[in-house]
Chain A
Amino acid sequence: MQHLPIFPILLPMLAAVFMLLPPLSNSITRHRVFAITVMVTLVITSALLLLTSHQQGIQLYVLGGWQPPFGITLVADRLSTLMVLLTSVLGLGALLYACAGDDNEGMFFHPLFMFQIMGVNGAFLTGDIFNLFVFFEVLLIASYALLIHGGGKQKTKVNVHYVILNLVGSSIFLFALGILYGTLGTLNIADMANKVRLLGENEQALVKAGGLLLLVVFGLKSALLPLHFWLPKTYAAASAPVAALFAIMTKVGIYSILRVHTVVFGADAGELANIAIPWLWPLAILTLIMGAIGVLASPGLRLTVANLVIVSVGTLMVAIAMQREAATSAALYYLIHTTLVTGGLFLLADMIMKQRGKAEDRYVIARKMTHAKVLGIAFFIASLTVLGMPPLSGFVGKILILQATEGMLETAWVWPVILLAGLATLIALSRAGTTLFWRTSGESSHNEPLHPLKLIAITLLLSASPLLVIFGGPVTEYTQLAAAQLHDTTQTVDALLPAGDK
Chain B
Amino acid sequence: MEAIYALCVGVLTTCGFFLVLRGRTFTVVMGLTLLSYAVNLFLFASGRLKLDGAAVLGQSAEYSDPLPQALVLTAIVIGFAMTAFVVILAMRSRADQGNDHVDGKIPVQPTKSSASDKRHS
A137 proximity list for chain B (CB < 8 A): 78, 82
B36 proximity list for chain A (CB < 8 A): 171
Query: Cα distance A179–B46 when bound, in Å?
Result: 7
Could you list which residues of chain A lie within 8 angstroms of chain B, going by C-beta atoms?
130, 134, 137, 141, 144, 148, 152-153, 156-157, 159-161, 163-164, 167-168, 170-171, 174-175, 177-179, 181-182, 187
A171 proximity list for chain B (CB < 8 A): 16, 32, 35-36, 38-39
Asked if B102 contacts A161 (CB within 8 A), the reply is yes
A141 proximity list for chain B (CB < 8 A): 81-82, 85
Asked if A153 contacts B68 (CB within 8 A), the reply is no
B90 proximity list for chain A (CB < 8 A): 160
Query: Cα distance A174–B45 when bound, in Å?
Result: 12
Query: Cα distance A251–B13 when bound, in Å?
Result: 29
Query: Cα distance A236–B71 when bound, in Å?
Result: 36
Q: Interface residues of B: mostly helix, strand, loop or mixed?
A: helix
Partner of B42, one of A160, A170, A174: A174
Chain B: minimal CB distance from A264 (Å) = 17
Beta-carbon nearest neighbor of A136 in chain B: B78
Asked if A157 contacts B89 (CB within 8 A), the reply is no
A187 proximity list for chain B (CB < 8 A): 67
Asked if A174 contacts B93 (CB within 8 A), the reply is no
A167 proximity list for chain B (CB < 8 A): 32, 35, 82, 86
Interface string of B100-115 (1 = CB under 8 A from A): 0011100000000000
Partner of B20, one of A134, A152, A164, A177: A164
Beta-carbon nearest neighbor of B29 in chain A: A164
Query: Cα distance A148–B88 when bound, in Å?
Result: 12
Give the 4 A-B CB pairs with smallest separation, nearest first: A182-B46, A178-B46, A157-B104, A174-B39
Asked if A168 contacts B93 (CB within 8 A), the reply is no
**Is B43 part of the contact surface with A, judged by Cβ < 8 Å?**
yes
Beta-carbon nearest neighbor of B82 in chain A: A167
Query: Cα distance A160–B101 when bound, in Å?
Result: 10
Q: Interface residues of A: mostly helix, strand, loop or mixed?
A: helix
Query: Cα distance A174–B43 when bound, in Å?
Result: 7
Interface centre among A130, A168, A174 (most CB of B within 10 A): A174
Interface size class of B (residues with CB under 8 A): 20 to 34
B89 proximity list for chain A (CB < 8 A): 144, 148, 156, 159-160, 163
A157 proximity list for chain B (CB < 8 A): 93, 96-97, 103-104
Asked if A181 contacts B46 (CB within 8 A), the reply is yes
A-B contact pairs, 14 of them (CB 8 A): A130-B74, A141-B81, A141-B85, A144-B85, A144-B89, A148-B92, A153-B97, A153-B104, A160-B93, A167-B32, A167-B86, A178-B39, A178-B68, A181-B46
Beta-carbon nearest neighbor of A155 in chain B: B96
Chain A: minimal CB distance from B6 (Å) = 12
A164 proximity list for chain B (CB < 8 A): 20, 28, 32, 86, 102
Could you list which residues of chain B lie within 8 angstroms of chain A, going by C-beta atoms?
16, 20, 25, 28, 32, 35-36, 38-39, 42-43, 45-48, 67-68, 71, 74-75, 78, 81-82, 85-86, 89-90, 92-93, 96-97, 102-104
Partner of B74, one of A134, A160, A175, A181: A134
| A181-B82 in contact given A164-B20, A171-B35 (Cβ < 8 Å) | no
B74 proximity list for chain A (CB < 8 A): 130, 134
Asked if A156 contacts B20 (CB within 8 A), the reply is no
Query: Cα distance A259–B45 when bound, in Å?
Result: 27
Query: Cα distance A105–B47 when bound, in Å?
Result: 47
Query: Cα distance A178–B71 when bound, in Å?
Result: 9
Query: Cα distance A178–B104 when bound, in Å?
Result: 35
Additional A-B contact list (19), CB under 8 Å, known A177-B46, A182-B47:
A137-B82, A141-B81, A141-B82, A153-B96, A156-B89, A159-B89, A159-B93, A160-B25, A163-B85, A164-B32, A167-B82, A167-B86, A168-B20, A168-B32, A171-B35, A174-B39, A174-B75, A177-B43, A178-B39
A181 proximity list for chain B (CB < 8 A): 43, 46-47, 67-68, 71
Query: Cα distance A160–B23 when bound, in Å?
Result: 12
A174 proximity list for chain B (CB < 8 A): 39, 42-43, 75
B45 proximity list for chain A (CB < 8 A): 178, 182
B42 proximity list for chain A (CB < 8 A): 174-175, 178
Query: Cα distance A187–B90 when bound, in Å?
Result: 34
A156 proximity list for chain B (CB < 8 A): 89, 92-93, 96-97, 104
Asked if A134 contacts B78 (CB within 8 A), the reply is yes
Asked if B43 contacts A178 (CB within 8 A), the reply is yes
A161 proximity list for chain B (CB < 8 A): 102
Chain B: minimal CB distance from A388 (Å) = 36
Beta-carbon nearest neighbor of A138 in chain B: B78
Query: Cα distance A141–B90 when bound, in Å?
Result: 15
A153 proximity list for chain B (CB < 8 A): 96-97, 104
Interface centre among A134, A144, A159, A167 (most CB of B within 10 A): A167
